[in-house]
Amino acid sequence: MNSKITDIPGLIVFEPKVIEDSRGYFYESYNKEKMTSLGAEMEFVQDNQSKSQYGVIRGLHYQKNPFAQTKLVRVLEGKIYDVALDLRKGSPGFGKWFGIELSAENNLQLFIPKGFAHGFSVLSEKAVVLYKCDVLYNQASEAGIKCTDKSLNIDWRIKAGSEIISAKDLNQPDFENADYNFIFKD
């Protein structure tokens, strides 16, 4: 398994080694020992899966401490633009976002540690997204940032007028007014 460290501390892109033959393919999508050795500390306890159509933008979501979640995101079908926004006060990446195209074809996975807001847009006709979490969902700690916040200037790569965003996500606060409690630990 190969990994690429991003410009934002803690975010890691994993690229599994895919073995293909006439029957199809095989790859190891998760190996705790290998991923830990590459800097991804986690003990996953919950898997989440979503199916969405083209134009859907989900996010930017997170859970506040003490229920903050580490996530490992991958796409089972289709293609998305996956975004992680650093909310860790004191981080060199604070307030910056990282985006990457994840697809069933490229098999890339994004490791997102605690302290980030997460969202994605669907670039294909439909997409099935799977993400592992290291902390169980806790509704009381759920929070978010408006994905259309102009100060973030995120290009979700969706044709204008084709965006599909839930009322809940559209009513999230802007980054400047968001409630989060993350501190960067080097």
Known catalytic residues are 61, 131
Per DSSP, helices labelled H in the chain are: 32-37, 167-170
- How many angstroms separate the CA atoms of 78 and 179, rounded? 33
Phi-psi sector, 29: left (phi>0), alpha (psi -120 to 50), beta: alpha
Region of 78 (left: φ > 0; alpha: ψ -120 to 50; beta: rest) is left
Q: What is d(CA 84, CA 93) in angstroms, rounded to the nearest whole number?
A: 11
Q: Which of 13, 135, 122 is nearest to 76 (CA)?
A: 122
**Separation of alpha carbons 102 and 33, rounded Å:** 23
DSSP 106: T
